[in-house]
Chains A and B, each alone.
Chain A
Amino acid sequence: MSGPILQVRDLMVEYATPTGPAQAVHGVNLDLAQGEFLAIVGESGCGKSTLLFAIAQLLTYPASVVGGSITFNGVDLQSLKEEELRQYRWRDISVVMQSAMNALNPTLSVGAQLADACRAHTDWDDKRVAQRSEEVLSMVSIDKVHLKSYPFQLSGGMRQRAMIAMALLLEPKLVIMDEPTSALDVVAQRSLMRQVEALRKELGFSVLFVTHDMSVVSHFSDRLAVMYAGEVVELDTTREVFDHPQHPYSQGLMDAFPSLLGDARALTGIPGTPPALVNPPPGCLFAARCTHVMDVCRELRPELITKGTRAVRCHLVNPPERS
């Protein structure tokens, strides 16, 4: 249990496009400790889902990993063949997708799909499969009578909880979640997050959670990484990022949330759009939209510099050395 359970070093993922390769993930470094909840936050197209799929080894053409390493428990996942990867899938690493309605098979009952997952990765007998299925459903507060239900018979919140139950079948060490709350209403969102939190405390798995809505994870994640145009631009404990964001993009994001009970002031959000990922500009990728932009920002790409728990990729925060 020593050392991080997941180590991502210098990960580069590219998409093949008619005009050239698009750099969807560019030099991402992450460490995830055992039992830690790391949230990755960013706009659509920032590469967070691509990063997640790369870690879960689920990328298909036209996306592919073109550089860097992904190490899980000391094993380099990139070097494994598909049969070897299967040993890890679901047993050590499981995935909860964004939309349960798309991820669950509409023609199979919930019980059948749970059994399917069990049989694909274990050699359990029917009795044990049934027993475990009931166990995971009760963990997410779904009555076991729903083993016979079809996905369309469950409400949106229940379907999403069923997905989480499925992800926990084999007691994985790492659960990867791709925006599992975005299709849910406020109340269902909150109860889902609470459920995930309670299960994490009880079973001790790590969570890698991707979302475009920071407020969803604000009370649950240990650390928060902000991604922009394929790079991590800020990383620290969740509270620190919310209370003292240092990167101008993070500051802009914080400013984009209308407050419910705080003072009602006018907000401006972040004007402009993310840069093209094919042949990106040489300097900082946020330069075109940054209110604190300096000359050096347009010429030199800032490095991600770590001081204590905080890592920031910004010339304003970490002025480049003058030669």
Chain B
Amino acid sequence: MSRLRPLTRALLGAWRFLRRDKKALVGSIILLVLLVVATFPSWFAHDNPAAEIYTPGAGLSWHHLLGTTSFGQDVYSQLIYGARQSVFIALIVGAFCTVVSVAVGITAAYSGGLIDDTLSLVTDVVLVIPTFPLIIVITAYVKSASFWLLVAVLVFTGWSYGARQLRVQALSLRNRDYLLAARARGESSWYVITVELIPPMTSLIVANFLSAALYAVLAASALQFIGLGNINTESWGTMLYWAENNEALQTGLPLWALAPGLAIALLGSALALLNYAFDEVANPALRPVSVKKMKKRMRKLGASA
């Protein structure tokens, strides 16, 4: 029972944080909605997104909220079912990137010496590799990229930035007395890293996760758009691919291209908003001071004298 208390505390803290910061609130609501849609698409769309059984090129109607594609598929269903790939790739790549960044960055900072030099070198090299050309080369080589290959490629190119950031912050915390105190009382290195070093870095780690997820959304969509994803799966990126290939904008089916584009932008914005909000938590200097609010408070103080 006492194990649950830190969890409920964390949740309450998160709730208070979200309520205070409008950016975070908007971002998390959008993300939550998209997550629900991605997990339970059948609640929102009843048509089979791949079935080419409807009138091709139909306009908006109650049956087809966003019209149909030139193959006769329901655009709305595609959008709903396509959410799964896009949202999950963002979250999965984000998670793996974070795990690798944390492992590499913190090990480098904590160990110092040769290990730090080696890991930093590796990080810097990977960081400098031009990401997009590399992704294109890899996926083009492998003809049709499966979901997991896409994840692997994105994680490989995405972890290094976070690793650098986390290493720097871990370095600044490393010589705080409470870490030395833990070592002095005989704790193992593993304990010091996981219990004493990582928890104060939580906000930076979360911010890293969000920016990695954002990177994944945009990079994955771009790859699918140019046809390097599996074009037979449902995702927003592949919708864009098919729409583009069939000249949707020119043939009077603009929603086929616009809907997935806007959806990608929506997911990206949600992640970006949350990212900004977490940056402010991690660095109070970024918090906005509204001049109007300030003057209002000072006037209130004057009244109490």
Interface residues of A (CB under 8 A from B): 12, 14, 16, 21, 61-62, 64, 66-67
Query: Considering the complex of A and B, which 8 residue pairs feature the smallest CB-CB distances, nearest first?
Result: A66-B305, A67-B305, A61-B294, A64-B298, A14-B301, A16-B297, A66-B301, A21-B301
Q: Which residues of A contact B302 (CB under 8 A)?
A: 64, 66
A14-B297 in contact (CB<8A): no
A66-B304 in contact (CB<8A): yes
Q: How far is the CA of A36 from the CA of B289 in the complex (A)?
A: 40
Q: How far is the CA of A16 from the CA of B294 in the complex (A)?
A: 10
With most chain A CB atoms within 10 A of its CB, the pick from B297, B301, B304 is B301
B93 to A: closest C-beta gap in Å: 38
B301-A16 in contact (CB<8A): yes
Query: Would you list which residues of chain B between 128 and 175 have a CB under 8 Å from chain A?
Result: none
Query: From A61, which residue of chain B is reached at the shortest CB distance?
Result: B294
A62-B297 in contact (CB<8A): yes
B284 to A: closest C-beta gap in Å: 13
Q: Which residues of B contact A21 (CB under 8 A)?
A: 301, 304
A14-B304 in contact (CB<8A): yes
B291 to A: closest C-beta gap in Å: 10
A37 to B: closest C-beta gap in Å: 31
Q: How far is the CA of A12 from the CA of B297 in the complex (A)?
A: 16
Q: How far is the CA of A62 from the CA of B302 in the complex (A)?
A: 13
Q: Which residues of B contact A61 (CB under 8 A)?
A: 289, 294, 297-298
Q: Which residues of A contact B305 (CB under 8 A)?
A: 12, 14, 66-67
Q: How far is the CA of A21 from the CA of B305 in the complex (A)?
A: 10
Q: Which residues of A contact B301 (CB under 8 A)?
A: 14, 16, 21, 64, 66
21 residue pairs A–B, Cβ–Cβ below 8 Å? A12-B305, A14-B301, A14-B304, A14-B305, A16-B297, A16-B301, A21-B301, A21-B304, A61-B289, A61-B294, A61-B297, A61-B298, A62-B297, A64-B298, A64-B301, A64-B302, A66-B301, A66-B302, A66-B304, A66-B305, A67-B305
B303 to A: closest C-beta gap in Å: 9
Q: Which residues of A contact B298 (CB under 8 A)?
A: 61, 64
B17 to A: closest C-beta gap in Å: 14
With most chain B CB atoms within 10 A of its CB, the pick from A12, A14, A61, A64 is A61
Query: From B298, which residue of chain A is reached at the shortest CB distance?
Result: A64
Query: From B303, which residue of chain A is reached at the shortest CB distance?
Result: A66
Q: Which residues of A contact B297 (CB under 8 A)?
A: 16, 61-62
Q: Which residues of B contact A62 (CB under 8 A)?
A: 297
Given contacts A14-B304, A64-B298, 19 further A-B contacts (CB under 8 A): A12-B305, A14-B301, A14-B305, A16-B297, A16-B301, A21-B301, A21-B304, A61-B289, A61-B294, A61-B297, A61-B298, A62-B297, A64-B301, A64-B302, A66-B301, A66-B302, A66-B304, A66-B305, A67-B305
Q: How far is the CA of A120 from the CA of B24 in the complex (A)?
A: 41
Q: How far is the CA of A62 from the CA of B296 in the complex (A)?
A: 12
Q: How far is the CA of A232 from the CA of B168 in the complex (A)?
A: 46
Q: Which residues of A contact B304 (CB under 8 A)?
A: 14, 21, 66
Query: Would you list which residues of chain B between 26 and 59 have a CB under 8 Å from chain A?
Result: none
Q: How far is the CA of A271 from the CA of B71 in the complex (A)?
A: 83
Q: How far is the CA of A283 from the CA of B301 in the complex (A)?
A: 23
Q: How far is the CA of A207 from the CA of B131 in the complex (A)?
A: 61
A260 to B: closest C-beta gap in Å: 29
B104 to A: closest C-beta gap in Å: 30
Query: From A16, which residue of chain B is reached at the shortest CB distance?
Result: B297
Query: From B297, which residue of chain A is reached at the shortest CB distance?
Result: A16
Q: How far is the CA of A14 from the CA of B305 in the complex (A)?
A: 9
Query: From A67, which residue of chain B is reached at the shortest CB distance?
Result: B305
Query: Would you list which residues of chain B between 241 and 292 have a CB under 8 Å from chain A?
Result: 289
Query: From A20, which residue of chain B is reached at the shortest CB distance?
Result: B304
A299 to B: closest C-beta gap in Å: 22
Q: How far is the CA of A21 from the CA of B298 in the complex (A)?
A: 10
Q: How far is the CA of A16 from the CA of B305 in the complex (A)?
A: 13
Q: How far is the CA of A21 from the CA of B302 in the complex (A)?
A: 10
Q: Which residues of B contact A16 (CB under 8 A)?
A: 297, 301
Q: How far is the CA of A81 from the CA of B294 in the complex (A)?
A: 18
B302 to A: closest C-beta gap in Å: 6
Q: How far is the CA of A243 from the CA of B277 in the complex (A)?
A: 57
With most chain A CB atoms within 10 A of its CB, the pick from B294, B297, B302, B305 is B305
Q: Which residues of B contact A64 (CB under 8 A)?
A: 298, 301-302
A130 to B: closest C-beta gap in Å: 35
Q: How far is the CA of A67 from the CA of B301 in the complex (A)?
A: 10
Q: Which residues of B contact A66 (CB under 8 A)?
A: 301-302, 304-305
Q: How far is the CA of A64 from the CA of B301 in the complex (A)?
A: 8
Q: Which residues of B contact A67 (CB under 8 A)?
A: 305
Q: Which residues of B contact A12 (CB under 8 A)?
A: 305
Q: Which residues of B contact A14 (CB under 8 A)?
A: 301, 304-305
Q: How far is the CA of A240 from the CA of B289 in the complex (A)?
A: 47
Q: How far is the CA of A67 from the CA of B305 in the complex (A)?
A: 7
Q: How far is the CA of A61 from the CA of B305 in the complex (A)?
A: 16
Q: How far is the CA of A221 from the CA of B170 in the complex (A)?
A: 45
Q: How far is the CA of A129 from the CA of B305 in the complex (A)?
A: 45
Query: From A12, which residue of chain B is reached at the shortest CB distance?
Result: B305
Q: How far is the CA of A12 from the CA of B303 in the complex (A)?
A: 13
